A and B are shown apart, each in its own frame.
Chain A
Amino acid sequence: MERKSSAAKVHIFPWERPAILGILLLFLFLLPWILDNRFYLRLATEILIYGLLAMSLDVLLGYTGLLSFMHAAYMGIGAYTVGLYLRFVDPTASIWILILLGVGATVLIAFPIGWLQVRTGGFAFALLTIAFGMMLYTIVWKARNLTGGDDGLIGLPSPNANLGSLLLASCKDPTSIYFITLAVVVLCFCLTYRIMRSPFGAVLETIRENEERASFIGVHVHRYKLCGWMLACALAGVSGVLFTVMKCSVSPTVMDPGAGGAVLMMALLGGLGTLWGPFIGAAVFIFAQDYISTMTEHWMIFLGLFLIVLVLFIPKGIAGFRESLFPQKPE
């Protein structure tokens, strides 16, 4: 239903969407020259990475209707895989290999967990994401010999980005990290956008709207839920790889319960079921966090209050404002 109404919507300018996209891409491409402050460029990179993570949660929550409280844990798997590989196996690895490894490890660990989770009901699914997320967090936190425990892995080498024998960039300076992150995030966004507009995406939305009817018309609900879960976890793994490459370090805080809540908050704030909304949510969230945490150490109180206000008053997020600004005429 939603799809039909958005197709029938009359645009104010016929080229509205491509024009906005083009301007946005141009802006993102020119950003390193607009911002000469390196700190803000790092912040922008972080926003892109967390935006990708929040988008992957949107695939799960906004499209499939499954709630994961600890989605950051799967980002953590990607981040730690890369960190451990750089530290113990090959410090000169190329970033493409790292991305493959990170996604591979995330998928490998997420599969059995997802298989178990989709067999239980809606509430139990959400509870199990907390339990398994905490399990991953505990393992990373306690395995001091391997992961460095509380301190994490620090001072990791920066990987290179090669294309054949041509050196595109070395991930040492913030500008090249920004461009690599931008390229990967845009690629992931386009891919996910395409997947969600395919029949597969439509089936996921069917499951979200009514699981029972979906199974009546012959949809293998468990299998599709598992596919949605795997897609979301793979994307989270990519964001984890980018995170390690940007920070040159990993610590357990990337996957603690607070991080899981923060990701949920970004996705909600931006607006579910849009894919682009979570990026805006991540931008607003990271700026707010940066601002508030300089004033008070009790950042969690504000996070909780924001979540409550969001759910009560703006459940559709920032993406929903557009609809209230340009309301569609009822037929």
Chain B
Amino acid sequence: MPSDLTFWVQTFINCLGLGSLLLLIAIGLNIIYGINRIVNLAHGSLYALGAYFGYTLVVNGLNFFFALLLAPILVFGIGLILERSIIAPIRERPMLYTLILTYGVSILLDGLTKYLWGVQPRFISTPAFLSQTIHLGSIPYPFYRFFILIVTAAVMVALMLLLGRTKLGMTMRAASNIPEMVSVLGINMNLVHVVVFGLGCFLAGIGGVIAGPLLTVYPMMGSEMLISCFIVLVIGGLGSLKGAVIAALLVGSVQTLGYIFITDYAMVVVYVMMAIILSFMPRGILGEGKFE
């Protein structure tokens, strides 16, 4: 048993690591909801698909960093096809139908990954310098978890720049408020929807590849991640980006601590926390639909 300080520092960084992974997946889901008004239930399966693509690329001798770039691009492509072929045609229908449709897509993709890669768990191997252990003072810590923090931070900064500083980001923010007005101004909303959906899928793909070496790659990983992300979204407020950041760290911490102290019922603690928060704030911490 390591000393108390070592344990708590390691636990603290573990909490941050899981929280940032959750954030990476949840933020993609949130952007899609904020602009397209679609809750993409296939998001978890796309994340799993990203992990499996990453695994296949690395096994075939590709550098881990190339895989980190290439696998999300593949997922992005699949996202584009999904959006154009089946989600766009039913955009005008009630939201129940989009939920059921994306649920069908998720079952289909999960079935396909099981068919193509089998059910046995896989591992993505990383380059040597990522798998080394570093020392914080006297406390040993695997470097890979810091790498996850770095990637998440980089993605979040890039996203903030995209939303806040570019014309595309401005269009996206406007589209989340008044889509009709944006459309009247001569901006092709179909294009915006496709780009946003693809962006969300891209983020899910990145999440999948960086989760690969940390957690194992197995068929159920998508649905487990999706449920944690739902909790993040509902606690933070659907469509609220700041809320997602706070909620992701909260859920990540509670989940990590839960796994340490009461292994079997860790998720139950998370659900109870969600229930308590929602009974006081039914629309989440920061309220629904504040896209900022």
Q: Which residues of A contact B (CB under 8 A)?
A: 61, 65, 67, 69, 116, 119-124, 126-128, 130-132, 134-135, 138-139, 142, 257-258, 261, 264, 268, 298-308, 310-312, 315
Contact = CB atoms under 8 A, between A and B. Distances in A.
B289 to A, nearest CB: 9
15 contacts: A119-B279, A120-B234, A123-B99, A124-B288, A126-B39, A130-B227, A131-B274, A139-B265, A300-B111, A300-B114, A301-B108, A304-B104, A307-B100, A308-B104, A311-B97
B96 A67 contact: yes
B256 interface: no
Contact of A67 (B100, B265, B275): B100
B230 interface: yes
A126 B101 CA distance: 13
Contacts of B108: 300-301, 303-305, 307-308
Interface of B: 33, 39, 86, 89-90, 93, 95-97, 99-101, 103-112, 114-115, 223, 227, 230-231, 233-234, 238, 264-265, 267-268, 271, 274-275, 278-279, 282-284, 288
Contacts of A310: 104
A123 B265 contact: no
A132 B111 contact: no
A299 B107 CA distance: 10
Nearest to B276: A116
Nearest to B42: A304
Secondary structure class of chain A's binding surface, majority of residues: helix
Nearest to B275: A116
Closest 7 CB pairs of A and B: A304-B108, A307-B104, A300-B111, A304-B107, A301-B111, A119-B282, A135-B271
A292 B268 CA distance: 35
A249 to B, nearest CB: 23
Given A67-B96, A121-B283, A311 B114 contact: no
Nearest to B272: A135
Contacts, number: 121
Contacts of B110: 300, 304
A124 B238 contact: yes
Given A123-B33, A126-B99, A311-B100, 8 more contacts: A61-B96, A119-B282, A120-B283, A123-B99, A134-B227, A258-B107, A303-B107, A304-B104
A127 B106 contact: no
Nearest to A65: B96
Where chain B touches its partner, the secondary structure class is helix
B103 A69 contact: yes
Given A122-B95, A123-B95, A315-B97, A308 B86 contact: yes
A106 B104 CA distance: 27
B90 A307 contact: no
B109 A311 contact: no
Contacts of A61: 96
Contacts of A123: 33, 39, 95, 99, 238
B223 A303 contact: no
A295 to B, nearest CB: 14
Contact of A304 (B106, B223, B231): B106
B103 A127 contact: no
Contacts of A306: 104
Contact of B230 (A127, A305, A311): A127
A207 B6 CA distance: 55
B103 A261 contact: yes
Given A119-B278, A120-B283, A311 B238 contact: no
Contacts of A69: 103
Contacts of B279: 116, 119
A251 B36 CA distance: 39
A304 B5 CA distance: 49
A69 B99 CA distance: 10
A298 B110 CA distance: 10
A303 B107 CA distance: 7
B278 A135 contact: no
Contact of A298 (B97, B114, B283): B114
Nearest to B112: A301
B269 to A, nearest CB: 10
A142 B264 contact: yes
Nearest to A308: B104
Given A135-B268, A307-B101, A308-B101, A121 B227 contact: no
B115 A298 contact: yes
A310 B100 CA distance: 10
Given A119-B278, A127-B39, A304 B105 contact: yes
A235 B111 CA distance: 31
